[in-house]
Structure 1
Amino acid sequence: MTEPALPTAEAAACAARFACLGDPTRVLLLHAVASGGPSTVGELAGRLGIGQSTCSHHLRRLAEGGHVLLSKEGTATRVATNTARRPDHVHALDLVLGLLPARLGAAEEPAGDVSVRAMEPGDWGAVRRIYGEGIATGNATFECEVPSREVLAAKWSPEHRWVAEVDRTVAGWAALTPVSTCDCYAGVAETSIYVGADARRRGVGTALLRHQIAAADAAQVWTLQCSLFPENLGSLALHRNAGFRTVGVRERIGMLRGRWRDTIILERRKPEPPSPATP
């Protein structure tokens, strides 16, 4: 018997997540809250022309499914969309529609001889060579040629450039690129991880990403994001295992070697939110 492309357990989880939307009244309620902002149960019942007890019943089902949040405000119950769960719902729907790979391998634990240190001037040759090996796979980047050292040095944050070594040889690198020069995005950066062709499946990427995350957290970089091709299953597994979540899919976002390609946007938030004084 052929094994289904979407694992049965994953299919069951997706079905449970969307089961409560099988009633038109719940769909109308969720749309009313999402488009109109937080409301009370009484306001929603009046807007839809249904009884308040019926409205409460359907909202409880939506809350159980993780779609809305219910909170008491005096004698009234206030309803708001559960924005924290929205990426989970997007991820589940994209899995069902085949926009995301259904099966991901586990990221390898670093071998004992893998170490990570800050990138040094003498590493640029190895870094650019490994970049080229990633380009050659056709699933790492839209770049078709390795950028110059000058371009990369101007692009990457000087404090967040790392290399991994195996037997004192550079086996991979990681770097952060600020997403904007605006102060409000000072703690948001895009992560890049590349592993040399001869060093793959040794946990080099895992070691680099863990080190990068720890350094970013210490430096108050509160959001790390990346854009990956759906075909890059190894990098998808690596980032998801490190706490990245799917934000969305950008379909036909760019052309590579004569073919339109999709990308999956993932992000990781620092566990402790920035203080109010932080931009």
Structure 2
Amino acid sequence: MRVRVATVADASAIATIYNQGIEDRVGTFETQLRTEAMVASWFDGMHPIVVVEQEQDIIAYASTSSYRSRPCYAGIAEFSVYVRRDWRGKGAGRLAITYLLQESAAAGFWKLLSRVFVENEASRGLLRSLGFREVGIYEKHGQLDGIWRDVVIVEYLIASNLATASFDQSSRHTI
């Protein structure tokens, strides 16, 4: 497996993997399948996205997105990680998140956070093993297929960027 920064040319493969996660109902409240164009819109130049390849096939990705629009939160990003069905449990998710942490640090972010379904023990275990902290549980955070679901809030502090916590919203670089 090889990991690299994603490009817009990877949008179709990323959409396919994300759509598997949507269909499987294990990692997201989303129910609308994504198109290549929808995923291409994620590439804003400010939020790292990485892909994991095996022999030229993209088998996993991890991405960041905006947390909140207020300037005080500019150094915080939400993250997601998805692995193609046939590659789950084989280390691709670990590789994707590890590289995403490096890219997020280089981009100046001081914190990554996400929400994980309480029953998704595979993701929770992986994140804990990489140093993510489970902060708490949002009860009945949303409905999926008419069923209320709880989520665990996870966060990772990027220690190297905490000392430079002043963040320029316009350039997305630490100042």
Partner of 2:13: 126
User: What's the CA shift string for 1:34-76, capped at 9, x where partnerless?
Assistant: xxxxxxxxxxxxxxxxxxxxxxxxxxxxxxxxxxxxxxxxxxx
Q: Does 1:185 align with 2:67?
A: no
Task: Return the offset for 1:148.
Answer: 3.2
Q: Does 1:135 align with 2:22?
A: yes
Where in structure 2 are there 5+ consecutive unaligned residues? 169-175
Partner of 2:172: none
What amino acid is aligned across from residue 274 of structure 1 in structure 2? A
Task: Return the offset for 1:276.
Answer: 6.0
CA distance in 1, matches of 2:111, 2:138: 19
Determine helix, strand or coil for the equivalent of 2:41.
helix
Whether the aligned pair in 2 keeps the contact of 1:157 and 1:175 (CA below 8 Å) is: no
- Indicate the structure with greater helix content: 1
- Structure 1 residues 183, 131: CA separation in 2 closer, same or farther (over 3 Å shift)? same
- Indicate the structure with greater strand content: 2
Partner of 2:163: 274
TM-score normalised by length of structure 2? 0.87
**What is the RMSD of the two structures over their aligned residues, measured on CA atoms?**
1.7
The percent of aligned pairs where both chains have the same amino acid is: 31
- Structure 1 residues 170, 258: CA separation in 2 closer, same or farther (over 3 Å shift)? same
Q: Does 1:147 align with 2:34?
A: yes
What amino acid is aligned across from residue 88 of structure 2 in structure 1? R
CA distance in 2, matches of 1:189, 1:173: 16
CA distance in 1, matches of 2:113, 2:10: 25
CA distance in 1, matches of 2:73, 2:43: 15
CA distance in 2, matches of 1:127, 1:277: 32
User: What's the CA shift string for 1:240-278, capped at 9, x where partnerless?
Assistant: 111110111011111100111001000011123233644
Task: Give the structure with higher Rg (CA).
Answer: 1
Partner of 1:115: 2
**Which of 158, 166, 170 pairs up with 2:54?**
166
TM-score normalised by length of structure 1? 0.56
Partner of 1:175: 63
What amino acid is aligned across from residue 130 of structure 2 in structure 1? A
Task: Return the offset for 1:139.
Answer: 1.4
Task: Return the offset for 1:155.
Answer: 4.3
CA distance in 1, matches of 2:164, 2:50: 28
CA distance in 2, matches of 1:153, 1:255: 27
Q: Does 1:225 align with 2:96?
A: no
CA distance in 2, matches of 1:160, 1:168: 20
- Structure 1 residues 276, 120: CA separation in 2 closer, same or farther (over 3 Å shift)? closer
- Aligned residue pairs, count: 166
- Structure 1 residues 277, 125: CA separation in 2 closer, same or farther (over 3 Å shift)? closer
